[in-house]
A and B are shown apart, each in its own frame.
Chain A
Amino acid sequence: MHLLVCGGTGCRASASDAIVGKLEKELEEKNLQDDVQVVMTGCFGFCEKGPIVKVLPDNTFYVQVKPDDAKSIVEEHVIKGRKVDKLLYRDPETSKEISDSKHMGFYKKQLRIALRNCGVINPESIDEAIARDAYAALAKVLGEMTPEQAIQEMINSGLRGRGGGGFPTGLKWKFAADNKADQKYVVCNADEGDPGAFMDRSILEGDPHSVIEAMAINGYCIGASKGLVYIRAEYPLAIERLKTAINHARDYGLLGENILGTNFSFDIEMRYGAGAFVCGEETALIHSMEGERGEPTFKPPFPAESGYLGKPTNVNNVETYANIPVIYLKGANWFNKIGTEKSKGTKVFALAGKINNVGLIEVPMGTTLREVIYEIGGGIKDGKKFKAVQTGGPSGGCLTEKHLDTPIDYDTLIASGSMMGSGGMIVMDEDDCMVSVARFYLDFTVEESCGKCSPCRIGNKRLYEQLDIICKGKGTLDDLDKLRNLSHVIKDTSLCGLGQTSPNPVLSTLDNFYHEYLEHVNDKKCRAGVCKDLMQYIIDNEQCVGCTACARVCPVGAISGERKGPHNIDQTICIKCGACIEKCKFSAISIQ
């Protein structure tokens, strides 16, 4: 019997390592440590319900487990074979318990290729990885294919870069292979910076060997003997697991000189990001690896021509790599049957926001947003009304009801005014103000712009300021036109992908939620009640008993009134902190 405990960052944040400890202790007390194996795995994806403990072989899926639950899991489930009811997942619609994750809406529509080993193996055991076919693809490629054939297989598979751009991976490899040089580099981009995206981290934490293997295959294909992983310093667990995996692979000779008895040699080093979103852009990433400011440079030359230390370099992101070993094992033809015509395979999304099932999901390209949000995501939290879904992070756009049945792939998302991005998917409900959401993303862009080119450095700042003015109720209709023109110019003239996409949240909200902008500008109203300056706290004279509680808690002294008499809020002083409304026991204060 195996007890798999999720060791993803989310679950660990909720003490999943303590669960492992407790389980082991309980088992030891019952002298079952030899019969039952406790394994800390990578992310199961269902973060909303974390920490997750999965019991095999009967595939029981326990959710929101606390360390103290270890006792009942061991005593009830392990010994007596009875499922622990209170830890089972309940279907939000039927309220029925579902013990097998396969039957949960969250997992039903998923197809796990990149995440195939996440939540299945112990990421710190290379043996378990090998048992699940790790390095078999590398062996196959080294043993049976020339680099040209292997690149052709990659081209045939139709795999496109999962980092956002969607450039065909095989072609990218071909370019790097075609440039002759004494030294070339393979770089894994693990600088996942989208706020609200954690796909790459989960893969590295759950299945680091798939990335190592794919990088080695990549090295063989383009003629590189060195690999570098550029990883966020904010991901300590992923760094640790990757380091362990690299060491294990070296111990086994799967990295190093003459891999698997061939004359192919390859090794991997780590480089750490230091908190700059723009370093997701490959030229910026390369500068950062060289110890410079992570400012992008104009392409061409592309890294395939002149990259790290001026040598031909191929950069792919983590999820792209995670797909690669399976493609070689099962063949390009297997892979390109999954997905849509131009977007093959699956995509991992970090589903978050106002949704019931927050988590990491992997679905075939072509799945609709409706399936993702309502079937996998379990619908909108607290029964609220769906308003928008934001894909592609700060580079993407907000899609609405009318896009729900669009099959998701690279091209349909762009056609709808958003983009795939790295896979963040944030769901918003009626309580979200779309102008504020656009402002939120611009705030991010302004902070993360490298400052090198003027449209991004100054233009995004001005976009943010305009949005801020509108949120404060001081915008005019003219401002909306300016927003649109400025957005187009920034997209059209910026140096790198960051600026070329940063106005997308503005343009997509202008397109899909123009009425909300108009309300802010014309009526000075924020229908979601988010924009503080467009709200007023009002005391209802009928309800107010004059207890003075509100006046005492008001931090700026905006509330006046006689004891036992009705109170009043001076709107010119009020800072809309909401302290009064929390304090009022008589529901006399409301927001208008």
Chain B
Amino acid sequence: MEFVNLTIDNKTVKVEKGTSILKAARSVGIDIPTLCYMSLGDMNIENKPGGCRICVVEVEGRKNLAPACCTDAHTDMVIKTNTMRVLNARRTVLELILSDHPADCLICAKSGNCELQDMAHKLGVREIHYKGEMSTYKPDKSPSIIRDMDKCIMCRRCEMMCNQVQTVGALWGINRGFEAVVSPAFEMDLEKSTCTYCGQCVAVCPTGALTEVDHTNQVIRALADPNKTVVVQTAPAVRAALGEEFGLKPGTLVTGKMAAALRRLGFDFVFDTDFAADLTIMEEGTELLDRLGKFLNGDKEVKLPILTSCCPGWVNFFEKQFPEMKDIPSTARSPQQMFGAIAKTYFAEKIQTKREDMVVVSVMPCLAKKYECQRDEFATDGNPDVDFSISTRELANLIKGANIDFNLLPDEDFDNPMGDSTGAAVIFGTTGGVIEAAVRSAYELHTKKKLEKVDFEQLRGLEGVREATIDFDGLPIRIGIAHGLGNARKLLEDIKAGKSDFHAIEIMACPGGCIGGGGQPLHHGDSSILKARQIAIYQEDKNKPIRKSHENPFIIKLYEEYLGHPMSEKAHHLLHTHYFDKKNEFLIE
């Protein structure tokens, strides 16, 4: 390994060759501010267009200032990060950015969590000396995401996520000069674009330009309505991240406090999406075994691999970009929707409440869930199975707004019957988790043998595309895993080309899986946060007394009392779905 020695603010620094000035400076505690720069290094995600010019520093012998994020450190460089010249330039550039940014911080959704606001604070901007025309764009509200491009600072993070990481191609830089902005084609609404609502653009947006559609008011209204029974479900990944919004260390599990908070918010039943995740394994696992069995028996009608279908961003992706493959994914609905369907039938009957009087709220790490619960196929007579889906961030806002001191809450349990779950369900929150949960059950159901060890380490990790072979008692099952839609695309292209030898593939739209979802507390480019959440998820799994879905007593009871058996007609009706070709059609004859 080759090293270089340089001086930054009179400190001698030794770093590996190829290290940027920014990283070199940070390694000795000199925190050069950045705005457009963002790195999730471990996941190979980096945004450094060198566009904002906030991180400029003075390099001796160079005629202009150098951007620290994309200038490599070289031996004998003498760098100053805080001279008069640098400070003036940095502040002037920030003032310029602010001069084209609405000053409505007080009412902005990102207020308090905005990197631009933080920067203005850090640099102590008290006056904007340069004023002039401001960019104005038509606001765009899709079912999941709001685009307010007046607030865009052209950091291009969203564009990078949408194209390089997700290969969705919904957002691109358009126009040039002062009019340049990131937008869908023809400045059409996001809803009409190839957007999957994965929300990764929102997750990385440093300002209020991209935010989620806020449903907290609808939830408050439902809670205040005495005629409504309000049921809440919380997705696995939420408990591993919610604490961050209350100053807790990333990776702190707050399952018990979360249940307590939801109860104090006034939800009538505090349930868990994990319950539905166990149910998903029953249906999806059975479908896998069914297709596998037919396939091995030479049934030409059956196609493999089977792909998971829990992730609504992923469903949107293949419906819009690979509609010709829409018969490959499992028909099992996502846990959110299975939960809603069971809540408004089985459970509603149990508590003798009419469907219309029940409101199902989901708390999700995800923005695509907002769109998913609005899909026509998930409603009965216009009444949706899940009424509102709110993000982890929105839940935190609800709790804060209700004057609840989250950190002082006791740990409480979920309610029954739909609050009980297994360790298999909780790992749905991370990449590799769904397939591991499926393997745990499918193995036992297929081989009729008990698993010696339920931890499948070979399925875990943060590698973008992973593969493993699991021995089903002599039958080698080939499993693929992809997270991030760009990685998913690679596997899909292979299947399309007939090059795939997998029996089952798990796909999650967001890098890291749901722990890195678009609705989670903002990571601001710190990938250690995602890792901590993943560790927490596996910890929760370990803590659970039951770790295989088919052993969940309430699931067993649900089949006994209501559904019959997996893939029964009733199960089909309530728990399965079908997919649509949503590729944009041209109106050309």
Contact = CB atoms under 8 A, between A and B. Distances in A.
A–B touching in complex (CB under 8 Å)? yes
Interface of A: 276, 278, 293, 295, 297-298, 300, 446-455, 457-462, 465-466, 482, 485-486, 489, 491-495, 500
B70 interface: yes
Contact of A458 (B49, B65, B89, B178): B178
Contacts of A495: 50-51, 53, 67
Nearest to B90: A493
Interface string B70-84: 111000000000000
Contact of B180 (A297, A452, A466, A493): A452
B177 interface: yes
A457 B49 contact: no
Contacts of B133: 461, 465
16 contacts: A446-B178, A448-B176, A450-B180, A451-B154, A451-B176, A451-B177, A454-B52, A454-B93, A454-B154, A457-B177, A458-B178, A461-B178, A491-B64, A493-B53, A493-B64, A493-B93
B270 interface: no
B112 interface: no
Given A447-B177, A454-B153, A491-B64, 6 more contacts: A276-B176, A278-B176, A452-B49, A462-B131, A466-B130, A486-B130
B99 interface: yes
A174 B209 CA distance: 46
A492 B175 contact: no
Contact of A494 (B49, B53, B92, B132): B53
A85 B56 CA distance: 65
Most A CB contacts (10 A, CB to CB) among B89, B93, B177, B179 go to B177
Contact of A465 (B53, B97, B132): B132
Given A451-B176, A457-B177, A486-B92, A500 B64 contact: yes
B129 interface: yes
A448 B179 CA distance: 11
Contacts of B93: 454-455, 459, 489, 493
A298 B96 contact: no
A500 B63 CA distance: 10
Given A451-B177, A493-B53, A495-B51, A458 B97 contact: yes
B100 to A, nearest CB: 5
Given A461-B178, A492-B89, A298 B129 contact: no
A477 to B, nearest CB: 14
Nearest to B70: A298
B177 A446 contact: yes
Contacts of B173: 293, 295, 451
A500 B89 CA distance: 13
A449 B96 CA distance: 15
Given A298-B67, A462-B132, A455 B177 contact: no
B85 interface: yes
Contacts of B179: 451
Closest 4 A/B residue pairs (Cβ): A451-B180, A465-B132, A449-B177, A458-B96
Contact of A452 (B92, B129, B154): B154
B52 A453 contact: yes
B51 A452 contact: yes
Contacts of A457: 154, 177-178, 180
Interface residues of B, number: 35
A342 B173 CA distance: 42
A493 B56 contact: yes
B88 interface: yes
Contacts of A448: 176-177
B441 to A, nearest CB: 47
Contacts of A297: 49-50
Nearest to A468: B132
B273 to A, nearest CB: 42
A462 B53 contact: no
Interface in B107-136: 129-133
Most B CB contacts (10 A, CB to CB) among A447, A451, A458, A461 go to A458
A196 B88 CA distance: 35
Contact of A455 (B49, B53, B153): B53
Interface in B523-568: none
Contact of A298 (B50, B65, B177): B50
A448 B175 CA distance: 11
Contacts of A455: 53, 92-93, 96
A451 B178 contact: yes
B89 A493 contact: yes
A462 B96 contact: yes
Contacts of A276: 176
Nearest to B94: A454
A457 to B, nearest CB: 6
Contacts of A466: 130, 132
Nearest to A496: B50
B51 A454 contact: yes
Most A CB contacts (10 A, CB to CB) among B64, B130, B133, B173 go to B130
A490 B132 CA distance: 16
Contacts of B53: 453-455, 493-495
A43 to B, nearest CB: 31
Contacts of B132: 461-462, 465-466
A478 to B, nearest CB: 9
Nearest to A448: B177
Contact of B99 (A451, A458, A492, A494): A458
Contacts of B88: 485, 489
Nearest to B98: A458
A204 B173 CA distance: 34
Contacts of A489: 88-89, 92-93
Most A CB contacts (10 A, CB to CB) among B64, B89, B173, B176 go to B176
A493 B177 contact: no
A341 to B, nearest CB: 21
B573 to A, nearest CB: 49
Most A CB contacts (10 A, CB to CB) among B71, B85, B99, B178 go to B178
A439 to B, nearest CB: 14
A460 B178 CA distance: 9
Given A457-B154, A493-B56, A451 B85 contact: no
A396 B65 CA distance: 20
Nearest to A449: B177
A43 B133 CA distance: 44
A502 to B, nearest CB: 11
A462 B100 CA distance: 10
A254 to B, nearest CB: 39
A458 B100 contact: yes
A446 B135 CA distance: 14
A164 B153 CA distance: 31
Contacts of B71: 298
